């Protein structure tokens, strides 16, 4: 039988990988403020979209809109002034 206190190789590797991932993620905040790094990510997103569109065709993806297609006023789905007492109670908090 194996000793329950002994750390197995797989468990060690899993914990080491998790710790390394957490360490790398801790630096993400600084990278997101870096304009050069943000530009790299944006260019990678453009490449990804182009490849995805080329592989699947125009009708396979959800329709995408440009900034000029968006309305400044967003119409509410349903009512904007509900009269339900339970809803009013939640909104008052």
Q: Determine contact, residues 37/31, Cβ cutoff 8 Å.
A: yes
The single-letter DSSP state of residue 28 is H
Comparison of pLDDT for 59 and 84, the residue scoring more: 84
**How far apart are alpha carbons 62 and 60 in whole angstroms?**
7
* Residue owning tokens 């002034």: 81
pTM (predicted TM-score): 0.38
pLDDT of residue 16 exceeding 70 = yes
17-41 mean pLDDT: 84
**How far apart are alpha carbons 6 and 28 in whole angstroms?**
34
- Residue 3 has a pLDDT of 60
pLDDT of residue 1 exceeding 60 = no
pLDDT of residue 93 exceeding 80 = no
Tokens matching residue 53: 């569109």
């Amino acid at each position: 039988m194996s000793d329950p206190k002994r750390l197995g190789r797989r468990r060690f590797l899993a914990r080491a990988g998790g710790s390394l991932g957490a360490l790398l993620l801790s630096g993400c905040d600084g990278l997101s403020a870096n304009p050069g790094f943000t530009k790299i990510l944006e260019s990678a997103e453009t490449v990804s979209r182009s490849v995805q569109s080329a592989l699947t065709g125009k009708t396979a993806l959800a329709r995408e809109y440009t900034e000029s297609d968006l309305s400044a006023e967003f119409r509410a789905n349903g009512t904007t002034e509900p009269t339900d007492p339970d809803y009013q109670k939640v909104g008052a908090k």
